[in-house]
A and B are shown apart, each in its own frame.
Chain A
Amino acid sequence: MTFAISQTNLRLLVDQLIQDGIFVVGPRRSGSMVLYEPLSKGEALTLDALPRRSAKELFFPVCEDILTYERVEGKMAVRDVDRAHYPETVLVGAPPCDAASPAILDSVFSWDYLDDFYLERRKKTTIIGMGCTRGDDACFCSAVGLAPDSVAGSDLFLTPLPGDEYACQVITEKGRSLTADYPGLFHEQSPVDPLPAPKQEMKQLNLERIKNWLDTHFDDPLWEKFADICAGCGACAFVCPACHCFDINDEGSSEKGTRRKHWDACGFGKFTNHASGHNPRDVQNKRYRNRIMHKFKYYNDKFGKTLCTGCGRCVRACPVGIDIAGILAEIDAK
């Protein structure tokens, strides 16, 4: 027998979670696009398009306060941000390319120093991943070791079945406890074949071979070929589920204000610029090289993981048409 939930009950689950005080985030129509946004009712859940930005912002927001400061009676006082009140959260409807990313990012946010802003949200969030049936020609999750039906990173995984049903796989204790809390919404049914996953254009990449090439080709004319045309914006990094670079800035006066952590991107010319004017990555192709190196070599060297889930968002978003999947295929063929 297959453990399953119907489309209707999935939306009902969202409603009941919200009623029980859980913060529920999922893909929702927002103007011309779909974004991961807080849901106010299950009906709003939009499962027919890949959200424009990834789900990483649930744990690592575009911009967040990390402290406030104020001079009171001549004395500077610094106040921490209350993280204990982060709500219990359920992320629902994340495709494998988004569900997989937090588990990848855990490494950087918890090595040695613990980034409690990220980790506290992570601890309090249950991820309901969902098998993907809507890929396009920019998708390449299968090429980087995931798949449209990959359960990596999900606590509970829903596989679309014919007839508005989802097969429901419990992956972790968090997922088990979620199904246990709402037993009436799930049911047993005889096994059926899931809806077919989309066929991906990209063939599987040999990530080890790519890394081997990167290990020995820091200097190579290909970098200019790949990335001379890079315009130097942060669109690729900002829509990416795995890019995690950030900046820290004070906003306010010297008397009172807020220190904020917000997304940054290695493609920006100023990213590594020293106060003296010296810039170790002085031209654009070096910045782009860092992006590829970080994803497919450095992160692997440090944490044994690849910093890419193949969601294809950067491919779609790049204003000059730089195609990371094509670049990887070219390196793989070396």
Chain B
Amino acid sequence: MTTINQNCYDSVTEAIRREAAKLLQEQTVAAVVGYVAGRRPGTASPAVAKSAEDAEKLVFSPACVNNLALFLSKAKKGIVPKGKTAIVAKGCDLRALAGLIGESQLNREDLVVIGVACAGVFSAAGERSLPLSDANIAAKCRECTIHTPEGVDVVAGTLPQLPDFDPVEAKELARLEAMTPQERWAFWKEHFSRCIRCMACRQICPFCYCEQCLCDRNRPQAVESSPRPAGNLAWHIVRAMHLAGRCAGCAECERSCPMDIPLNLLNRRMAQELKEQYQYEAGTTPQEKGPLNQYREDDDQSFIK
């Protein structure tokens, strides 16, 4: 089994604490959004550090699964104090920040981004008492291409030599692609039938910041609100479509789903479509506006019959 050297997380933690304390002491920022350790071993929670004392509690470990960009979105307004904010960002989280900047939700000038050299985080079902390895690493990390984020203000820590992991998600995606439409339909129907509409997928998503979500609207009722097959299917399709060209692949929706619905497969499939159709990849640079958010006179109109 391939295990990742744990020391790298300690060096990231140290660097985050140093940087956060400095930023808060010098009042460069009003708050640092980071992680603190949970009560249970192998767990961590998002936290907003507002003092140098708070900064001492910040950590980075394989338990730091959350995409903290969520806490800078409109949906979480009020949690982070006004003023300049520093945020701890893994490579995958950074893409969400870039997306939110692109959608005019954030100003780059108002942010200090503490990018972390991230070797990976735990999967939702992974054993948290063991070091990060092939057995308990999140699927997204197995195919990560941005272990060391670029375009950040500070990079915390350095990466150890990382093993090559088998890309399980890409394989699963390929398996789905190889299915007949009927088989694929059955696959998703089965998964969506388990949805209990807890909305964790929506609430945890940095891009689900709509003040009035379509699925909460009832005049007219676009999506049935009860956890039944019709409404569940409608909700997940609406979700996938609304995130197409915006989702930056942090896979928080999938991690948060208490019913283990592999939502990131949908997101990835949509991202793939965007890449093939428009040579576009969400969240790589902040300035870009996604192809589905803009109109150009030379857009392909041939689908309108």
Contacts and interface: CB of A to CB of B under 8 A. Distances in A.
Q: Please say whether the chains A and B touch (CB closer than 8 A).
A: yes
Interface of A: 30-33, 52-53, 62-63, 137-138, 201, 228-229, 231-235, 237-239, 247, 249, 251, 260, 262-263, 265, 268, 270, 283, 315, 317, 319-323, 325-326
B83 to A, nearest CB: 17
Interface stretch (B43-51, B113-121, B176-184, B281-289): B43-51
A320 B46 CA distance: 6
B45 A319 contact: no
A234 B79 contact: no
A233 B226 contact: no
B3 to A, nearest CB: 22
Given A138-B40, A234-B198, A229 B47 contact: yes
A33 B262 CA distance: 13
B79 A238 contact: no
Nearest to A312: B40
A268 B199 contact: yes
B45 A233 contact: no
Please classify the interface of chain A as helix (H, G, I), strand (E, B), loop, or mixed, using the class held by over half of its residues. loop
B39 A239 contact: no
B40 A234 contact: no
A138 B3 CA distance: 25
B131 to A, nearest CB: 17
Given A234-B199, A321-B45, A326 B258 contact: no
Interface string B110-134: 0000000000000001000000000
23 contacts: A30-B194, A52-B258, A52-B259, A52-B260, A53-B258, A228-B48, A229-B45, A229-B71, A231-B70, A231-B203, A235-B198, A249-B225, A251-B228, A270-B216, A319-B66, A319-B255, A321-B44, A321-B46, A322-B45, A323-B38, A323-B39, A323-B45, A326-B39
B106 interface: no
B151 interface: no
Interface in B58-98: 66, 70-71, 75, 78-79
B290 interface: no
A325 B38 CA distance: 11
Interface in B253-277: 255-256, 258-260
Interface string B185-203: 0000010001011111011
A270 B43 CA distance: 30
Q: How large is the interface on B (under 10, 10 to 19, 20 to 34, 35 or more residues)?
A: 35 or more
A235 B43 contact: no
B198 A238 contact: yes
Contact of B226 (A32, A228, A262, A321): A262
Q: Is the interface of B mostly helix, strand, loop or mixed?
A: loop
Contacts of A315: 40
5 closest residue pairs by CB, A with B = A321-B45, A319-B256, A233-B200, A233-B203, A234-B198
B260 A32 contact: yes
B224 A234 contact: no
Given A238-B198, A263-B196, A228 B256 contact: no
Interface of B: 38-41, 43-48, 66, 70-71, 75, 78-79, 125, 190, 194, 196-200, 202-204, 216, 224-228, 252, 255-256, 258-260
A62 B202 CA distance: 19
Given A33-B260, A238-B198, A321-B46, A229 B252 contact: no
Contacts of A229: 45-48, 71, 79
A265 B198 contact: yes
Contacts of A270: 216
Contacts of A262: 197, 225-227
Contact of B204 (A62, A137, A319, A322): A319
A254 to B, nearest CB: 12
Contacts of B48: 228-229
Contacts of A137: 40-41
B16 to A, nearest CB: 17
Given A265-B198, A317-B258, A201 B40 contact: yes
Contacts of B227: 62-63, 262-263
A55 to B, nearest CB: 15
A229 B227 CA distance: 26
A238 B224 contact: no
A235 B39 contact: no
B38 A321 contact: yes
Contacts of B258: 52-53, 235, 238-239, 317
B11 to A, nearest CB: 23
B41 A233 contact: no
Contacts of B216: 270
A228 B79 contact: yes
Given A319-B203, A321-B43, 7 more contacts: A229-B48, A231-B256, A234-B196, A235-B256, A262-B197, A317-B200, A319-B252
A71 to B, nearest CB: 19
A30 B170 CA distance: 24
B40 A323 contact: yes
Contacts of B47: 229
